[in-house]
A and B are shown apart, each in its own frame.
Chain A
């Protein structure tokens, strides 16, 4: 026992599962779980492959080599630059970033309420953002308002759900039920907006409502990147708090967590990521529910690393879904239709499994 206490580094005869990172020159230290690192790299690689593949597909098919040449600035034909850089690349990047944002939003929410069924689309956060976005579309407000409106809608909805669920603590099951109700209200209000306004303004909103990456442009990519750059450090910092909050409030507070403050920050950040996704691509369902679930099954409970892994899965999943939705059917479908078709049965499976576990 004594010798074990003394041992600082990885124990001999045991494959290290965590690698400590302590650069000698900087007052920085952290540790990385080998398994999570490998999985994250694999998920990111898969996402990159899917994205590259999607760059080759379209009305004018390109070979991967042609795509690669265009990306490095030496297109084989002048037309390639427009096809790849202006049309396909923004869409591919938007797909990956939206998928990642949804996954992060869901992962944080699921850890926060300790319920695998919670996700921004299930509890109405996406609909809340969608309601505000549809309002900006039908009233023809400037496009720059859309991300802000989405953030306000998402955050307000998240807090409404949270407040309605609160009874000296938040039960995950009640949060899901309250959320489903709030989701229905937000969807109903959105429908009301759509029937109240003239058709020419509404058609865009209806198309957008299905969740689509059609027409994604560089402006969307910029908003997503800037938003993620602001929110990700916040989320990664508070992930440590979330990891301890999962022990229960008393245990977490005894470890020095200011529970309410941490919960509020996590809720806002989760809503923020959902809002980024909704502003760019409309309310796309189930990616936020499933990606964190897969991440948890493969890499364990939430840590900063698992969060990034979930983001990689989300990016890969939505890239693949968009690729299939565009090219596998006689007509191009909105990607939201496809994720719903795949995700809804999975949600029911989860629901059944959760109930059996109780």
Chain B
């Protein structure tokens, strides 16, 4: 790998107090200016890894390095100006307005006497602009739809103005349209501002579509790492998820498209490809895939 990496780990062992190792001996270089997606089955350690990257979890062994320095040795506020994290389900105080919530993302930049400089105002405006949430600025966050709310939280993280942004399952609990919406937004941010993005995603096909690099994890180890088109194969999915699949090129983006094979479905569809029942079958396949997960 010849790309640069400001954020990387070295033989990382991770565990919560009193638990066995969740991640062991993990070394990873997060490519700058790229979208990296961590994926794998439940409890494979991907969210734990993300928390360690954000300095929320102290490694039992090894180190997370940010700009060459061990992240555990850096002051919290210092880290917060370079690296932002959006947890899976942050809670909004009752009655808070969109603008107020986004403005709180300026916390690491504020000082005792300098609490609301022009740069703070500009950062908030720019974050609202990038996420297309200006029109919502005076609305209470509790009243927004799930998709709007997620945009607002992303705006909050953007107001923090960090080059590196970590997101834990930013699309969970959203319907299909809003998931695409959020992922398109993140891709746009990555493209226009060359922000480094690391996120945990559950949906493998979304990961293939939007990631520059995929990190496939299983039982606390990296099984494969690289561009989706090189890494994601039926063999890998079988190793990581214990699931038989067919991997074909996505007809829209020509990234890998992973289609679970499920026994019953195969019998039903054999011999009539593209038949009128295909939609129903695909639906069933998706349902099956989600129960497998």
Using A22-B118, A244-B107, A255-B105 as known contacts, say yes or no to A302 and B93 having CB atoms under 8 A apart: yes
Complex partner residue of A29 from B83, B107, B117, CB under 8 angstroms? B117
* B126 surroundings in chain A (CB, below 8 A): 5
Is B128 interfacial (CB 8 A cutoff)? yes
Q: Given A20-B121, A240-B107, does the pair A251, B90 have CB atoms closer than 8 Å? A: yes
- Interface 0/1 of B60-99, CB less than 8 Å to A: 0000000000000000111111011111011111111101
A240 to B111, CA, bound (A): 11
B115 touches A1 (CB 8 A): no
B90 engages A247 (CB within 8 Å): yes
Of residues 245 through 279 on chain A, the ones whose CB sits less than 8 Å from some CB of chain B are: 246-248, 250-251, 253-258
Q: How far is the CB of B117 from chain A (nearest CB, A)?
A: 5
**Looking across the interface, which residue of chain B has its beta carbon closest to that of A258?**
B76
In the docked arrangement, what's the CA distance between A250 and B108, Å?
A: 14
Within 8 A of A (CB), among B27-61: 51, 54-56
Measured between alpha carbons, how far is A246 from B76 in the docked complex, in Å?
A: 18
Asked if B113 CB lies within 8 Å of chain A CBs, one says yes
Asked whether any CB of chain B lies closer than 8 Å to the CB of A229, the reply is: no
Cβ of B112 < 8 Å from any Cβ of A?
A: yes
B132 on interface, CB distance cutoff 8 Å: yes
CA of A332 to CA of B107, assembled, Å: 49
Provide the bound-state CA to CA distance between A1 and B155, in Å.
Answer: 14
Q: Which B127-183 residues sit within 8 Å CB-CB of chain A?
A: 128-130, 132, 134, 138, 160, 166
Query: Is A215 part of the contact surface with B, judged by Cβ < 8 Å?
Result: no
Query: Closest approach, in angstroms, between the C-beta of A167 and any C-beta of chain B?
Result: 13
State whether A255 touches B91 (Cβ < 8 A). no
A30 to B114, CA, bound (A): 7
Q: Answer yes or no: A300 CB below 8 A from chain B CBs.
A: yes
Q: How many residues of A contact B (CB 8 A)?
A: 40
The answer on a CB contact under 8 Å between A5 and B125 is: yes
Given A254-B87, A255-B80, do A28 and B132 touch, yes or no (CB 8 Å)? no
Would you call B108 and A256 a contact (CB within 8 A)?
Answer: yes
What does the 1/0 interface line of A113-125 toward B look like (CB < 8 Å)? 0100000000000
Looking across the interface, which residue of chain A has its beta carbon closest to that of B77?
A: A256
Is there contact, CB below 8 Å, between B116 and A17? no
User: Please, which residues of chain A bring their CB within 8 A of the CB of B78?
Assistant: 256
Find chain B residues with CB under 8 A from A20 CB. 116, 118, 121
Known: A250-B51, A256-B79. A29 touches B94 (CB 8 A): no
Contact present for B108 and A301 (CB under 8 Å) = no
- Measured CB to CB, the closest approach of chain B to A61, in angstroms, equals 44
- Contacts of B84 on A, CB cut-off 8 Å? 254-255
Please indicate the chain B residues that have their CB under 8 angstroms from the CB of A237 in the complex: 112
A240 to B76, CA, bound (A): 16
Q: How far is the CB of B77 from chain A (nearest CB, A)?
A: 4
In the complex, the answer to whether B116 meets A8 with C-beta atoms within 8 Å is: no
| A1-44 interface with B by 8 A CB criterion | 1-2, 4-5, 7-8, 17-18, 20-22, 26-31
Please give 5 more A-B residue pairs, beta carbons under 8 A apart, in addition to A29-B120, A243-B104, A250-B87: A21-B116, A250-B51, A254-B54, A301-B93, A301-B94
11 contacting pairs across A/B (C-beta < 8 A): A4-B134, A5-B122, A244-B104, A244-B107, A246-B92, A248-B89, A254-B85, A255-B160, A256-B79, A296-B95, A301-B94
